[in-house]
Amino acid sequence: MSVLRAEPEGAEPRERFDALSWLTTTDHKRIGILYVCTSLFYLCVAGGIAILIRTQLSRPENTFVGAHAYNQLFTLHGTAMIFLMVTPFAFGLANFLIPLQIGAPDMAFPRLNALSFWLFLCGGLVVFSGVLTSGGAAAAGWTAYAPLSVLRVAGGSGQDLWIVGVLMVSIATILTSINFITTVFIYRAPGMTMWRIPIFTWEMVATSLLVLVAFPSLTADLAMLLIDRHLGGHFFDPAGGGNPILYQHLFWFFGHPEVYVMILPYFGVISEIVPVFSRKPIFGYTGLVLAAFAIAGLSMGVWAHHMFTTGAVSNPFFSAVSFLIAVPTGIKFFNWIGTMWGGSISFETPMLFSIGFLINFLIGGITGVMLASPPIDFDAHDSYFVVAHMHYVLGGGSLFAIFAAMFFWWPKMFGVKLDEVLGRWTFWLMLVGFNVTFFPMHLLGLAGMPRRVFTYPDAGPLPLLNAISSSGSYLMLVAIVIFAINVVVTARRRVPVPADPWRANSLEWATSSPPPEYNFLKIPPIRSERPVFDARHPELAAETAR
Amino acid sequence: MNAFGAWSPPTTQAALLRGDWLVFLWTGLAVGAIVYGLILFALLRWRKRDDVLPRQFRRNNRLEIFYTIVPLVLVAVLFGVTYAVERPVESVSQHPDLVVRVVAYRWGWQFTYPAQRITLDSNGSSTGPQMVLPVDRTTRIELTSVDVTHGFWIPAFLFKRDAIPGLLNRFDLSPDRTGTFYGTCSQFCGLGHALMHFSLRVVPDAAFERWAGSAARAS
Amino acid sequence: MKIGLRLFLSSAAFSLVIALVYGFTTHDPTGTVLLGVMTFAMTFAAWYMIVAEREADIWGDAAGATMREAAGESIGIYTTRSVLPICLAVSVALIAVGLIVSATLIAIGITALLVLLGLLISGSR
């Protein structure tokens, strides 16, 4: 048991906040925390924007915000949530966890790691700096389709600042992926074979590989957009021999893998949390790993399922491959259920949010399979049905997993345990609020409400469904406020946290909470994907080794 | 506006599309029921009751293969249904009874009936022009845009197609019942995107001839 | 064969198959080129791993290894503090914003970038 008391004798907690050390740090744990805090900041910004959007849409023909302001709002909401919140949070979590989970002292390239964070931070600020320009921020949607995004009237310098800001964030993401893959390949501790690394780390390897092949397509597309906007290019202009469809191909070749970049890490989070609170090993470890790479690989071949209504792509090819992706995703679902099956399940907040993930993501997955069928897309594309689908997987899925991850790893990161009672309030308000906000959107799409509209006619069920949806969003706001209160209240309590407060499995729980700068004083023997569990239960060593 | 008007499909294409929707809806509900059932069962049956460590099993090869094969077969069937519906819906007839050209622009619609010499335009109104079509006839729509990408969407027909500059999209509409149907732009196109509506009125042959006559004189 | 190598080899094989199927069924040049570039990238990574890592053996891959056996091995020098990353990021931001707003900013940004890269290179000698 002594191996788990990793606190060196006489260690002093850091007393005063030293800003300069945070600006010059290359410690993966601090960089991870910087990412997490920055993405939570953007969650508040983009979430606040969402409240404004839902307020405008709460009544038909509302005048809370005008069309141009609204177009900037949904553009920034999508951009911030996708580029500045969901992915950076995952990368921050991975930054903190990967070296700990594989028994390494830091990432392979610490300064590159720090560079990635600061590029991300600066890039996000550049994107939002568009708000300060006379024409306003970018207003062509997070997808910035050409020819709309080429038009100067659709956004002047705001659109250009959006382009260069997103380019900076893309480069940061690519650099971090290089770091992750190298670290996992090279810096594993003795005995930590690839088939013993935690599922979260495996998911991050798959995610990083996806980033490497997908993001360059975006950077090329945005560079071509800049050339069309300012250097007399005609890549996307039919009058000059170009083709708007080219923009869409390059965008979605990035865009589809991007959504898997936004979910695979969170599949990893669920795969870490469910075994701990079911008191059983993860079921089907090999299947989960193979499924992750099947999803990643297939996701490179489905991009034009976002283009089914253009009439310019082979619908059958993309439909077939899109259906195939449902199979490995289903395998993961069954493996999580298999983990809970025959277990001893308790319902601490991380587990509540993980169960919420399963409930919500299933709906998102089912509507995703529906949307893979072009005949369904012919009605649902560009309607609120798609808005519902994407929010169920990203909000109901990734966001719930973000909360699960925060409640689970907060003690390890900050040496503070979040309050369980406030956590339960957050969970239930979030679960109800989320479903009240987004379930009606399926019906709104079927009733004929398109996406990206600042208002809608006072007809049919649109006013009622929109009012219900907006009320749900205010519930979500309350949930987030309660979470913020939780953070502040527990930060002041200063109750010390042991190395392994959850009786968990992977290597990060073998060191103090928070870990010392060098990560591990002593690493326990690694004979399976649960070295900390094995150290707690030496009597099971023979049957649990991998 | 038709609220869920699509559930009584007004075109032959929409009938097929609705069939596709229903197959997927029922399949989705069944899959959802099964998976939610399994989750609920597991959570209730194996709640933590004591500190005894449960049996630490981590795999079951036959089960894992089973839940790989079954979904694979299921999606193959779903793809088959999809393909069987999409082909007839997208097929364009060699001899349509009527041709209407639709041009989308920021922010309105222009409908031209070349044979009847009719031109209709939004003319700045958000309600937009009304395309009149004869029932039980096949109308060919030829769709394009003159500036950015727009979307020609008739929710009641369960159908939309993008209007893309430099591209001509062709599809057939075969309405088989009369009525008035709402349409709107579905692809974000800037400030006026939310105010770019139109409508479609399906009438018997005789009424169509009368309308065409007066519309041609007005054009 | 190392898992990393197997990963890139199978990714390359998969990319090739999907690029061929896509190219022959759709005749779409855009997607075929994109998938082809992906195939090339994966193949390059796999080739490099084969050529460069023939002799590489890491303690992490030794399933029965203990910490004691690997103790004393130096795995590299980690820089724990550096002002370069934040300064590099800010200079890139200046170039990016300068492209849109003002040529002076570009000049400042590029100068700063070159100085910092110089510091980086000289610092690692």
3-state secondary structure of A13: coil
Chain-chain contact of B32 with A362 (C-beta, under 8 angstroms):
yes
Q: What's the pLDDT score for residue B6? A: 52
| Residue B153 touches chain A, beta carbons under 8 Å | yes
Q: What's the pLDDT score for residue C75? A: 72
Name the band, by pLDDT with cuts 50, 70 and 90, for residue C125: confident
User: What ipTM goes with this model?
Assistant: 0.96
For the domain spanning A26-544, the CATH number is 1.20.210.10
Token pair, residue A117, equals 């964070």
CB pairs under 8 A between A and C: 162
Radius of gyration (C-alpha) of chain B in whole angstroms: 24
- Per-residue pLDDT tens for A445-467? 999 999 999 999 999 999 999 99
**In chain C, what are the domain boundaries?**
3-66, 84-123
**Which residue in A281, A335, A373 is closest to B56 by CB distance?**
A281
State whether CATH 1.10.287.90 applies to domain B5-90.
Answer: yes
| Residue B59 touches chain A, beta carbons under 8 Å | yes
State chain A's mean pLDDT as an integer. Answer: 94
pTM of the entire structure? 0.95
- Per-residue pLDDT tens for A18-64? 889 999 999 999 999 999 999 999 999 999 999 999 999 999 999 99
Chain-chain contact of B89 with A456 (C-beta, under 8 angstroms):
no
Is the pLDDT at A8 greater than 80? The verdict is: no
| Residue A218 touches chain C, beta carbons under 8 Å | no
Contacts of A316 in chain B (CB under 8 A): 83, 86
Q: Which CATH architecture has domain B98-218?
A: Sandwich (2.60)
Crossing angle for the helix pair A157-186 and A199-230, nearest 10 degrees?
150
Chain-chain contact of A323 with B160 (C-beta, under 8 angstroms):
no
Q: What's the pLDDT score for residue C78? A: 77
Token pair, residue A374, equals 């072009």
**Which residue in C31, C82, C93 is closest to A126 by CB distance?**
C93
Is the pLDDT at A284 greater than 50? The verdict is: yes
Q: What's the pLDDT score for residue B3? A: 45
Q: What's the pLDDT score for residue C63? A: 87
Q: What's the pLDDT score for residue A13? A: 52
Q: Between A96 and C73, whose confidence is greater?
A: A96
The Cβ of residue B114 has, within 10 Å, a number of other Cβ atoms equal to 12
Contacts of A370 in chain B (CB under 8 A): 21, 24-25, 28
Side chain identity, residue B219: S
* H helices present in C1-125, as ranges: 3-26, 29-52, 67-70, 84-101, 103-123
Token pair, residue B193, equals 């995107």
Q: Which chains touch B (3 or more CB pairs under 8 A)?
A: A
Name the band, by pLDDT with cuts 50, 70 and 90, for residue A9: very low
Is the pLDDT at B63 greater than 70? The verdict is: yes
Contacts of C4 in chain A (CB under 8 A): 181, 185, 194
Is the pLDDT at B73 greater than 60? The verdict is: yes
**In chain B, what are the domain boundaries?**
5-90, 98-218
Asked if A262 and A251 count as a contact pair (C-beta separation under 8 A), the reply is: no
Intrachain domains B5-90 and B98-218 with the same fold: no
Token pair, residue A123, equals 């890039």
User: Which helix H or strand E contains A372, and what residues bound it?
Assistant: none
The Cβ of residue C62 has, within 10 Å, a number of other Cβ atoms equal to 16
Q: List the one residue out of A143, A134, A176 whose CA is nearest residue A162.
A: A143
Q: What's the pLDDT score for residue A544? A: 67
- Per-residue pLDDT tens for A250-283? 999 999 999 999 999 999 999 999 999 999 999 9
Cα distance between residue B114 and residue A332, in whole Å: 55
